[in-house]
Amino acid sequence: MLCNICNKNPATVHLTEIIDGQMSELHICEDCARKKSQAMEQQFGLSDLLAGMADFDKTKSEASAIGMSVKCPICGLTYADFKKIGRLGCGECYNTFRKYLGPLLKRIHGSTQHTGKFPAKAAKVSRKRTGIQELRIRLSKAIESEAFEEAAKIRDQIKELENKELKKKE
Amino acid sequence: MEIRNLLNHTSEWLKGSGPNSDIVISSRIRLARNLSNASFPHWASKKQGEETLDKIKEGFSKVDYLKNTTFLELAKMDSLDKQFLVERHLMSLDHAQKTNSKAVVVDDEEIVSIMVNEEDHIRMQVMQSGFNLYEAWNIINKIDEAIAEKLDFAFLSDWGYLTACPTNAGTGMRGSVMLHLPALVMSQAIDRVLAAIAKLSFTTRGLYGEGTQAMGNFFQISNQISLGPSENEIIESINGLIRQIIEQEIQAREVLSSKNSPLLEDRINRSLGILRSARIITSQETTELLSMVRLGSDLGMVKDIDRRRINELFIVTQPAHLQKIEDKKLSSQERDIKRAQIIREKLNI
C-alpha cells in the first residue's frame, strides 16, 4: 500500500482518527508521519490544552451555549474567547465564569480552596469569615491525614464559632 | 542604575554560596499579582496597558522596600540591553520580545526583579544563591505585603490571587530550584529522576525557563500546583523533592569518582584543557565544558578554580554579555572568538 499523503513511499504508519464520532483511517509513510506529528505539536499549545480541559465539562444542555456568549462586565471577554486563547481577561472574569472555572481549577490544581496568604486589604474585609474557613481547611487536612482526634476538636471549634455568629445575628 | 554597571557585579544567583551550593545553583520564588478591575496585559488595549503601567509605577514609588530599585520601561531600552537582562535571569525572554507598556524593575543587588505587564500585571521574583527557598520567600513576602498596601490586587477568598492563566491562580506562587546534576546525567539515571518528578506534579525546565532545553546538566525544578496548598506547604513539598534529588546526585558522584575515577578525571581535565586553549568556542560547548569543570571543582579534582569564577563564566560568555563587554555589536563568529579569549584569560591565572 502506498502512502495516502505523498503516494510515493510505502505506508508503514497506520493512524486511526476519531473526530466527532467519525472514524477515519490513514495509512502513511514515515516521512509524512513525521511532518504530520510536527504540525500537530506546533498547533497543540497550552491554550489548546486548557481549552480542551474546559471543554471536558461541556454541559449537554443548551444553557452552556448561552453561557458561552455572556460577556464579563469589566473587560468584555466571553468564555468562548477564553477557550480560544487560554487566558482570562481580568480578575472579574473569575466571578463571571465561576461555574465553568470551578471544575477547571479543580482539575488543574486538585483543589478549589486557597489556603495561602491574603492581601492586607482583603484580609480586613473577610477576616471573620476566614476564622471559620481556616478551621474548615484544617479540618479537611486532619481528616485526610487520619488525625481524627484533632479533627473532632476542630469540628467543635467550628460549631462554637458558628453558634456565636448565629447568636449575634439574632 | 546604569545597566552597564551590572557587568562588574556578580548576580546573587551566581555567587556559588548558600546551602548545598555544590549541587544547587539558586533558589527562586515568583509571585503573580494583578490589579483589580483592570484587564490583564494580553487583553488590555494600548491605552489600558499604559494606564496600568502608570498606576503600578506610581504605587511602586511609594514602597520603601523598592527604594533601591530602578524602573526600566522596555519601550525605552535597546534590544541588546533587554537580552542582557534576560541572560542575567532578571526578566523572561517572552517579556523582552514584546515592548508595549511593559517594564522591569531591578534592584542594585539583583536579588529582586519585577516584570510589569508580562502575562500578569505584576510578576515579582526573588533569587537566592544555593538551596534557600525559605529565605527567598521571606524577602518576597515582605515586598508583596508592602506593595499590597499601595495597590489593590484581584483576589477571591476561595480562589486566592487571580491570574491571567488559571494554572497560576491561588497563591500565584512558583518556587524554582536550579540544580546542576552532571553525575545523574552521566550515569544515565536522569531520565528516571525526571519521570518521577513529572509524576509528582512538578515541572523541569532548562537554564532559561519555560520552553528551554536542559543544557550543560542544569535543570530547573518548580511546583505546578498553586491553588490548595499554602505558600509554606508548597515550599516544603519542593524542598522535600529537592533533598531527595541532591541525595541521588551525591550518590551518583560517589559511584562515578570511586569506580570510574580515571575516566571521570580524564573528562574533567580534557574539558578544562579545551577551555584553556580554544580560540573559537560556541556558547553551547562552553556551557557543557564548564559543567564538567564545575563538577571537577566540587569533587576536588580541579583545585585552582573556585565555583564562583566558573559561575561567572557561565554568564559573561552569553551573547549579550560579550557585546556589552566589547561595547559593540558582534557577529556570531566574532562572539565565538571573544568568548574563547575571555575564558582563556579567566582560567589561565
Residue of B70, B154, B137 whose CA lies nearest to B108: B70
Q: Does B164 touch chain A (CB under 8 A)?
A: yes
Residue of A nearest to B226 (CA): A109
C-alpha cell at A99: 461555574
How does A41-60 read in b/e, with b if 16+ C-beta sit within 10 Å? Answer: eeeeeeeeebbebbeeeeee
Q: What pLDDT score does A161 carry?
A: 75
- Among the partner-chain residues A85, A104, A110, the one whose CB lies closest to the CB of B166 is A104
- Note whether B249 and B179 are within 8 A (CB): yes
Chain B residues with CB under 8 Å of A89 CB are 39-40, 43
Residues B268/B295, Cβ–Cβ less than 8 Å: yes
C-alpha cell belonging to residue B290? 564548564
Q: Best of A115, A134, A145 to disrupt the B interface by mutation (most B CBs within 10 Å)?
A: A115
Q: What is the pLDDT of residues A133-161, one digit of tens each?
A: 667 777 777 776 777 788 888 888 877 87
Reported in sequence order, the residue ranges of B185-290 that DSSP labels E, i.e. its strands, are 202-205, 218-223
Q: What is the model's pLDDT at position A49?
A: 63
Judge whether B37 is closer than 8 Å to chain A, CB to CB.
yes
Q: Is residue A1 within 8 angstroms of chain B, CB to CB?
A: no
Tell me phi and psi for residue A114, to 5 degrees: -70, 130
Query: Which chain B residues contact residue A121 at CB under 8 A?
Result: 148-149, 152-153
pTM over 0.90: no
Quote the pLDDT of residue B297. 94
d(CA A28, CA A8): 10
The string of pLDDT tens digits covering residues B190-219 is: 989 988 898 888 988 876 655 555 677 999
Chain B touched by A75 (CB under 8 Å) = yes
Cα–Cα distance, B275 to B269 (Å, whole number): 10
Distance CA(B196)–CA(B204), nearest Å, equals 11
B137 touches chain A (CB under 8 A): no
Interface contact B43-A112, CB threshold 8 A? no
Q: How many CB pairs under 8 A join A and B?
A: 129
Q: Across the interface, do B166 and A74 touch by the CB < 8 Å criterion? A: no
Distance CA A93, CA B39 (A): 10
Burial (Cβ within 10 Å: 0-12, 13-18, ≥19) of residue B150: middle
Closest alpha carbon within chain B to A108 = B167
Q: How distant is the Cα of A4 from the closest Cα of chain B, in angstroms? A: 33
Mutate to test the interface with A, among B140, B162, B205 (most CBs of A within 10 A): B162
Q: How many CA atoms lie within 13 A of A37 on its CB side?
A: 9
- Asked if the C-beta of B118 comes within 8 angstroms of chain A's C-beta atoms, the answer is no
pLDDT tens, B249-278? 999 999 999 987 898 999 999 999 999 999
Render pLDDT for B22-75 as a digit per residue (tens, 0 to 9): 999 999 999 999 999 999 999 999 999 999 999 999 999 999 999 999 999 999
DSSP assignment string, B296-326: HHHTTSS-S--HHHHHHHHHHTSHHHHHHHH
Distances (CA, A) of B226 to B41, B249, B255: 21, 27, 37
Contact list in B for residue A75 (CB cut-off 8 A) is 39-40, 43
Q: State residue B148's pLDDT score.
A: 95
ipTM: 0.88
Radius of gyration for chain A, computed over Cα atoms and rounded to the nearest angstrom: 25
pLDDT at B77: 92
Higher pLDDT, B115 or A124: B115
**Rounded to an integer, what distance in angstroms lies between the CA atom of residue B328 and that of residue A68?**
53
Residue B40 near chain A (CB below 8 Å): yes
Q: Is A49 on the interface with B (CB under 8 A)?
A: no
How many Å lie between the alpha carbon of B241 and the closest alpha carbon of chain A? 18
Q: CA of B162, closest CA in chain A: separation in Å? A: 6
Can you tell me the distance from the alpha carbon of A161 to that of A127, in angstroms, rounded to the nearest whole number? 13
Closest Cβ opposite residue A90 in set B40, B161, B233: B40
